[in-house]
Amino acid sequence: MAKTAVKTRPTPRKAAAQKFIYDFQEGGAEMRSLLGGKGAGVAEMTRAGLPVPPGFTITTEACLAYLESGGRFPEGLLESVRRHLEALETRSGKRLGDQENPLLVSVRSGAAFSMPGMMDTVLNLGLNRVTLEGLARKTGDRRFAMDAYRRFIQMYGRIVLGLEPELFDAEMELVKGAGGIKADSDLSSNTLEKLADKFRDTVQQQTGLPFPEDPWDQLTRAIAAVFDSWNGKRAIAYRDFNHIPHTLGTAVNVQAMVFGNMGNDSGTGVAFTRDPATGERRIFGEYLLNAQGEDVVAGIRTPQPIATLEQALPEVYQRFSEIAERLELHYRDVQDMEFTIEQGRLYMLQTRTAKRTAAAAVKIAVDMMAEKLITRDEALRRVEPEQVDHLLHRAIDPGAEVKVLATGLAASPGAATGAAVFDADRAAAMAKEGKKVILVRIETNPDDVHGMIAAEGVLTSRGGRTSHAAVVARGMGKPCVAGTESLHVDLARRRFEAGGVVVKEGDVFTIDGTTGRVIEGPVPTVEAGVSGDLEKLLQTADRVRRLKIYANADTPEDALRARQFGAQGIGLCRTEHMFMQQDRLPHVQRMILAQEKGEREAALAELLPFQRADFLGILEAMQGLPVIIRLIDPPLHEFLPSHDELLVTVTKLRDAKKGGKKLERAERMLHAVEELREQNPMLGLRGCRLGLLFPEIIEMQVRAIAEAASELRRKRVRAIPEIMVPLVGAAEELRRSRATIEATLKQVAKEEGIRFDVKIGTMIEVPRAALTAGEVAHHAQFFSFGTNDLTQMTYGVSRDDAEGKFLRRYVDDGILPSNPFEHLDPSGVARLMSFAVKEGREARPNLEVGICGEHGGDAQSIAVCERLGLDYVSCSPFRVPGARLAAAQALLEVGEKKDV
């Protein structure tokens, strides 16, 4: 299906005088938002005198004007293209459409944020049946010209005319099969010519129109196609995943072609100034001789490591090394460069800040800080807290016995286990059902991105460490093993074979992107600790940040891990998990079902030693750091058997007209469960409401805390428990809960003959608590925002129900900018928090305020907490290191302006 032809009409929005086009020598790095990353990069290189083929950039503003007018070029744009094209012709000494000395250009997208491979590029534009001959004559290489021509038709057909690439691939395979030809480079000039004819026929058949011969027509339609690609499905998906605004638009770069496929003194490659996987300081990259750029990126041929270029073309390599060093110094960051060598001459086509793995990001930041290339604050900003999270997860247990099926390239580190899936749509669908999958492809292309987003990891059988799969996976922080040549992928039968084992769709296996191993079955994983460069970086962050980092931990093991990760205390120790364990549950159930206080107290007395031991372990593990213990929170029916199972049992027993005692017991339990059952348990009898109705539960818990602290004191271990009351909505709830807590503490203190000085505070998780924080603070020594519940109630959204049913759709459709359970909602929830902080501190100036919802580990949310002036954030132990970094970044970002 052909795309619509280009239309032009005056756009009222912009004055005709607006400058829509910049020659490369006019631009610079600072014009990134107008010229896109690529345009700014080539301009900057041009300005620096580096060898860049000449060209010009059409601005993102032109793109937006085009998109907003529904696909019409803004007034004056085409005239301007023509002028800049003429300048380009002058500079290159060639003319577009000239039959003797034709100018060929590339037309490439380039947005302000790097979106590798997400948008469209057309190479060799300007070729037609006439210029083709000119090129052949000019280069003296008819085969080269024919190859360029067929490539152009293929690319133009796909990108501009919107045809399926398979149409061309099939023709190609046919021709190759007929000639017994393996590599594309073995195709003869004649064959290529026939192929080009066939491609043109295909275009005519599919679109009903001949392939456009007029180079100007080719150019304007290619520009329109690049503009349109901004709103392509895969571009939108990528931006959503990476939180890039959809309103930026893309620039278009029109640049004179240089050819890496003009023989063995030609070539093309991509390279990094440091290793983007490890961060090691050495030029790292790949190239192919006698090839065009697309061959490297698409992974069609497996490229050579850049180091071998030193042997192949020593002078070129030398020149390239110098340029690489210059660019890194210039940009003060690792560069990802594209280059082409045309008959021994080096051209730089692009430079941009390199994407890198988490480990590389950390090493590079620490190294560059040591090299004094960047400042401390810059180093802290160079690593994303999420990358730190990635570093701490998913390494294969070194002690585990694994069966390695194959080894590919370690393209993106980390281990992933999941079910094999062989296409992106299915990967996305299965992930939606909550399954963990690994996407297996021969190679990936931009159409696979949604599947990569959905997958735990990616495995390909072709392509290098700069192939599409590798680059995109690294950007996402997902494990990837690429170019696993011993892997036999059978897409049609949905299976792969490796090491004599067949893995079918749905079979679970493991990849280790750190080592490149493909491993049979699931594998035990271990988490990495904090050491080396990461430790250095985090210590730097610790010196900068203001926010304290606490952890949420309910067990001594978690508490210990939290401390190892640098937590300065426990911000949330839930007490009810202890009730769920098998040896305790019968007592808990007896407590719940008790008809009167005495019975309940007896059951609680049984629970006391368990709970005391739990607290003892956690307090001991934290060795004098504060441990904020939250009193029982969930609704009681959570501790009872499932209602539906009981109903089925009772129905069956009744039906069978037997049962006797068994039926009676089941009926009694069913009745009890029905009594406690709630329509909206999240808003029911839970939190402090439980303790106000059954103070004896609080008394038992507080006694357990106090007795544990007392025992540790005897053992000369410092213990700092603090007690937190959940789900307070009215100050009076807290006042009364606190009275019970204090009475119990006093009682135990008297029994033990010691003094306790235990802080008592409250969760702020009910909107009303935030709205009346001034009153609540009279009774609280600290506030801890429970932002999970606070978000649920502020949005009126039950997370359990919503995430599957409509929240994802809301985010996908842009109704919400992000999932408010991942990133703290800055307008609604944070506004409530800001009332609470302000009014709480007015009432009690030394009020300590923190957050213990899951947002506590999220960098965006931590930035909000810094702006709100909180004292601490508390998150799961694994997120503590990332939070340490995020807190430092937040402080740098907020600086002195602390108003929200």
The footprint of a second copy on residues 248-307 (CB under 8 A) is: none
739 contributes a contact to a second copy by CB under 8 A: no
Comparison of 449 and 780: residue with beta carbon closer to a second copy: 780
Instruction: List beta partners, residue 417.
Output: 510
796 contributes a contact to a second copy by CB under 8 A: yes
Comparison of 226 and 830: residue with beta carbon closer to a second copy: 830
Q: Is 42 helix (H, G, I), strand (E, B) or coil?
A: helix
- C-alpha to C-alpha distances, 700 to 129, 289, 583, 706, nearest whole angstrom: 89, 76, 18, 10
525 contributes a contact to a second copy by CB under 8 A: no
Given its phi and psi angles, is residue 516 left (phi above 0), alpha (psi -120 to 50 degrees) or beta? left
CA 141 from chain center: how many Å?
46
**Tokens (6 digits) for 747:** 């009682």
695 contributes a contact to a second copy by CB under 8 A: no
652 contributes a contact to a second copy by CB under 8 A: yes
Comparison of 266 and 791: residue with beta carbon closer to a second copy: 791
788 contributes a contact to a second copy by CB under 8 A: no
838 contributes a contact to a second copy by CB under 8 A: no
Strands (E), 135-283: 250-256, 267-272
727 contributes a contact to a second copy by CB under 8 A: yes
792 contributes a contact to a second copy by CB under 8 A: yes
765 contributes a contact to a second copy by CB under 8 A: yes
732 contributes a contact to a second copy by CB under 8 A: yes
Strands (E), 52-165: 55-58, 72-73, 105-111, 121-125
473 contributes a contact to a second copy by CB under 8 A: no
659 contributes a contact to a second copy by CB under 8 A: no
Contact 560, 622 (CB under 8 A): no
Per CB under 8 A, the segment of 366-374, 587-595, 763-771, 881-889 that binds a second copy is: 763-771
| Contacting residue, 678, 812, 822, 842, with a second copy by CB under 8 A | 678
| Contacting residue, 75, 775, 848, 866, with a second copy by CB under 8 A | 775
Burial class (CB within 10 angstroms; exposed 0-12, middle 13-18, buried 19+) of 93 = exposed
| Contacting residue, 47, 768, 823, 838, with a second copy by CB under 8 A | 768
801 contributes a contact to a second copy by CB under 8 A: yes
683 contributes a contact to a second copy by CB under 8 A: yes
Comparison of 119 and 829: residue with beta carbon closer to a second copy: 829
| Contacting residue, 443, 789, 848, 866, with a second copy by CB under 8 A | 789
828 contributes a contact to a second copy by CB under 8 A: yes
- Residue 757's CB is within 10 A of a number of other CB atoms, namely 7
658 contributes a contact to a second copy by CB under 8 A: no
664 contributes a contact to a second copy by CB under 8 A: no
- C-alpha to C-alpha distances, 664 to 645, 651, 669, nearest whole angstrom: 15, 12, 9
**Tokens (6 digits) for 259:** 């050819």
Amino acid at 789: D
Comparison of 166 and 732: residue with beta carbon closer to a second copy: 732
Contact 253, 38 (CB under 8 A): yes
805 contributes a contact to a second copy by CB under 8 A: yes
Q: What is the DSSP string of 385-444?
A: HHHHHHHTS-EE-TTS---EEEE-EEEE-SEEEEEEE-SHHHHHHHHHTT--EEEEESS-
Shortest spacing between CB 654 and a second copy, in angstroms? 9
Question: Which residues lie below 8 Å from residue 594, measured CB to CB, with a gap of 6+?
Answer: 600, 602, 603
647 contributes a contact to a second copy by CB under 8 A: yes
Comparison of 488 and 689: residue with beta carbon closer to a second copy: 689
665 contributes a contact to a second copy by CB under 8 A: no
Shortest spacing between CB 736 and a second copy, in angstroms? 7
Q: How many amino acids of this chain bind a second copy (CB under 8 A)?
A: 56
Q: Rounded to whole angstroms, how far apart are CA atoms 262 and 292? A: 9
DSSP state, 750? Answer: H
| Contacting residue, 89, 141, 333, 733, with a second copy by CB under 8 A | 733
What DSSP element (H or E) covers 668? helix 661-676
Contact 53, 256 (CB under 8 A): yes
**Tokens (6 digits) for 680:** 């909206």
Spell out a b/e string for 740-751, using b for 16 or more CB atoms within 10 Å of the CB, else e.
Answer: bbeebbeebbee
In the residue annotation, 468 being an active-site residue is answered as yes
Instruction: List beta partners, residue 725.
Output: 762
3 contributes a contact to a second copy by CB under 8 A: no
Shortest spacing between CB 845 and a second copy, in angstroms? 22
Per CB under 8 A, the segment of 33-41, 533-541, 598-606, 811-819 that binds a second copy is: 811-819
Amino acid at 251: A
- C-alpha to C-alpha distances, 470 to 380, 466, 654, 780, nearest whole angstrom: 25, 6, 61, 52
In the residue annotation, 852 being an active-site residue is answered as yes
| Contacting residue, 816, 843, 892, 900, with a second copy by CB under 8 A | 816
Q: Of the listed 84, 450, 468, 779, which one is catalytic?
A: 468
381 contributes a contact to a second copy by CB under 8 A: no
245 contributes a contact to a second copy by CB under 8 A: no
Shortest spacing between CB 695 and a second copy, in angstroms? 12
Q: Is 846 helix (H, G, I), strand (E, B) or coil?
A: coil
Shortest spacing between CB 806 and a second copy, in angstroms? 5
| Contacting residue, 655, 757, 896, 899, with a second copy by CB under 8 A | 655
Strands of the 495-498 sheet, one edge to the other: 488-490, 495-498, 501-504
Shortest spacing between CB 697 and a second copy, in angstroms? 14
Comparison of 247 and 827: residue with beta carbon closer to a second copy: 827
Q: Rounded to whole angstroms, how far apart are CA atoms 651 and 681? A: 25
**Tokens (6 digits) for 131:** 């210029």
Contact 371, 393 (CB under 8 A): no
Q: Rounded to whole angstroms, how far apart are CA atoms 216 and 534? A: 53
811 contributes a contact to a second copy by CB under 8 A: no
Q: Of the listed 63, 573, 688, 852, which one is catalytic?
A: 852
766 contributes a contact to a second copy by CB under 8 A: yes
432 contributes a contact to a second copy by CB under 8 A: no
Amino acid at 555: T
Comparison of 494 and 736: residue with beta carbon closer to a second copy: 736
| Contacting residue, 488, 736, 823, 838, with a second copy by CB under 8 A | 736
Counting other chains too, the contacts that 592-595 makes at CB distance below 8 Å and 24 or more residues apart are 592/636, 592/639, 592/640, 592/672, 592/676, 593/672
Q: Rounded to whole angstroms, how far apart are CA atoms 397 and 406? A: 18
Question: Which residues lie below 8 Å from residue 111, measured CB to CB, with a gap of 6+?
Answer: 36, 37, 60, 119, 230, 244, 248, 249, 250, 251
825 contributes a contact to a second copy by CB under 8 A: yes
Selection from 682, 716, 705, 234 nearest residue 452 by Cα: 234
Q: Rounded to whole angstroms, how far apart are CA atoms 282 and 132? A: 41
CA 764 from chain center: how many Å?
30
800 contributes a contact to a second copy by CB under 8 A: yes
Angle CA(862)–CA(868)–CA(872) in degrees, nearest 5? 55
Contact 824, 849 (CB under 8 A): no
Per CB under 8 A, the segment of 13-21, 42-50, 765-773, 861-869 that binds a second copy is: 765-773
| Contacting residue, 435, 504, 590, 689, with a second copy by CB under 8 A | 689
Per CB under 8 A, the segment of 181-189, 215-223, 491-499, 760-768 that binds a second copy is: 760-768
900 contributes a contact to a second copy by CB under 8 A: no
434 contributes a contact to a second copy by CB under 8 A: no
- Residue given tokens 């000239």 in the structure block: 98
506 contributes a contact to a second copy by CB under 8 A: no
Comparison of 653 and 760: residue with beta carbon closer to a second copy: 653
Q: Which residues bind a second copy (CB under 8 A)?
A: 644, 647-648, 651-652, 655-656, 678-685, 689, 692-693, 727, 729-730, 732-733, 736, 765-768, 771-772, 775, 789, 792-798, 800-802, 805-806, 809-810, 813-816, 825, 827-829, 831-832
Active-site amino acid positions: 468, 852
